[in-house]
Amino acid sequence: MRGFVVDRYAKSGNELRAAEMPEPEVREHDVLIRIHAAGVNVLDSKIRNGEFKLILPYRLPLVLGNDVAGVVVRTGSGVRNFKPGDEVYARPGKDRIGTFAEFISVAEPDLALKPTRLTMEEAAAVPLVGLTAWQALVEIAGVRAGQKVFVQAGSGGVGTFAIQLAKHLGATVATTTSAANTDLVKSLGADVVIDYRADDFETVLHDYDLVLHSQDNATLEKSLRVLKPGGLLISISGPPDPAFARELGKPMLAPVMRVLSRRVRKAATSREVGYRFLFMRANGDQLREIASLIDSGVISPVLDRVFPFEKTNEAMAYVDAGRAKGKVVVKVQ
């Protein structure tokens, strides 16, 4: 099969190589998917650059890609909920990525039927950002009606999804974006929109219950100050905390992560707020919940551009430039 692979870790001059790769193995509880579309994420670039090699020690060459929508081709003998011909979507497990290819084998628990109202390209834009938003707002924070939620970078992939989900949960939602994207984030449900080029969110926002943080360390420390006592900051950009080492099943990394997150945890404690690092995980049950919200019209993915498969490197460069509104997708089939 055709695929785009990482041959070495490097932060510059490191394009993916188009290659012929073996078709993935289908184990007892696996589902083989013919990929129609694959989402492109900042995570892909971080993996390519080697930023996660300590946490995710992949064997190179590695087929990259973390979002998939496609059609079931074959199932393992233990699979009960899917059959050939089903249209599905997924964020494959972190140890089994590889959606920049023609086929992928996904564990059954990580898979869900795709939302019926979406095209393959639209469905491929959902899994990683949808699961990130769900696990932050629903699973960890348990956002309730009447709470105040600050979603950073509202016009990005996670931001466009999280604003809609937080609004559905009944929260008052604030976000940051450029002036050019104000109408977009307001249309998604943002109540308070801050032009990050003109205003400092710290002077505008006060007594928030939750911050979904996706920016740099300077923004992280400022974000703690907009929370009320008992509030929570969930970061998807780090630093990782000791709890994450336990979630990975690598307790030996806990001392390293304790050092990396010491400053922010100390600052959070001094302000009587909480800090959590989130590295979202694959979850087919949550994708089914998300599909239900999409099919009922509660949430719609925001799709910026669709690139042809052979332009996968161009798609990654576009995402790396940081100006995408919503998600970027590669059309494989």
User: What pLDDT, on the 0 to 100 scale, is given for residue 248?
Assistant: 86
Pick from 207, 135, 131, 214: which is nearest to 172 by CA?
207
pTM over 0.85: yes
User: What pLDDT, on the 0 to 100 scale, is given for residue 188?
Assistant: 98
Residue 41 forms part of a structural domain: yes
Residue 268 shares a structural domain with residue 136:
yes
Q: What is the CA radius of gyration of the chain?
A: 19
Percentages of the chain per state (helix, strand, coil), in multiples of 5:
35, 25, 40
Residue 65 forms part of a structural domain: yes
Cα–Cα distance measured from residue 300 to residue 191, given in angstroms and rounded to the nearest whole number: 18
Helical packing angle, 262-270 and 217-224, nearest 10°: 20
Residue 185 forms part of a structural domain: yes
Distances (CA, A) of 175 to 80, 126, 158, 163: 42, 20, 12, 8
Q: Decide: 102 and 332 in contact? Cβ < 8 Å.
A: yes
- Cβ of 153: how many Cβ atoms within 10 Å? 23
Residue 296 forms part of a structural domain: no
User: What pLDDT, on the 0 to 100 scale, is given for residue 20?
Assistant: 97
User: What pLDDT, on the 0 to 100 scale, is given for residue 328?
Assistant: 98
User: What pLDDT, on the 0 to 100 scale, is given for residue 323?
Assistant: 86
User: What pLDDT, on the 0 to 100 scale, is given for residue 77?
Assistant: 98
Low pLDDT (below 70) residues in the chain: none
User: What pLDDT, on the 0 to 100 scale, is given for residue 223?
Assistant: 97
Q: Decide: 79 and 107 in contact? Cβ < 8 Å.
A: no
Residue 283 forms part of a structural domain: no
User: What pLDDT, on the 0 to 100 scale, is given for residue 13?
Assistant: 80
Cα–Cα distance measured from residue 192 to residue 182, given in angstroms and rounded to the nearest whole number: 10
User: What pLDDT, on the 0 to 100 scale, is given for residue 99?
Assistant: 98
User: What pLDDT, on the 0 to 100 scale, is given for residue 116?
Assistant: 98
Cα–Cα distance measured from residue 320 to residue 11, given in angstroms and rounded to the nearest whole number: 12
Ramachandran angles phi, psi of 222, nearest 5°:
-65, -35
Residue 195 forms part of a structural domain: yes
Residue 272 forms part of a structural domain: yes
Tokens of 209: 């219950």
For residue 324, give its domain range. Answer: 2-126+301-331
Residue 81 shares a structural domain with residue 95:
yes
User: What pLDDT, on the 0 to 100 scale, is given for residue 11?
Assistant: 84
Place of tokens 């140890």: 95
User: What pLDDT, on the 0 to 100 scale, is given for residue 241?
Assistant: 93
Q: Give 162's Cβ-side CA count (13 Å radius).
A: 33
Cα–Cα distance measured from residue 245 to residue 257, given in angstroms and rounded to the nearest whole number: 7
Residue 253 shares a structural domain with residue 223:
yes
Residue 186 shares a structural domain with residue 170:
yes
What's the mean pLDDT when you consider all of the chain?
A: 96
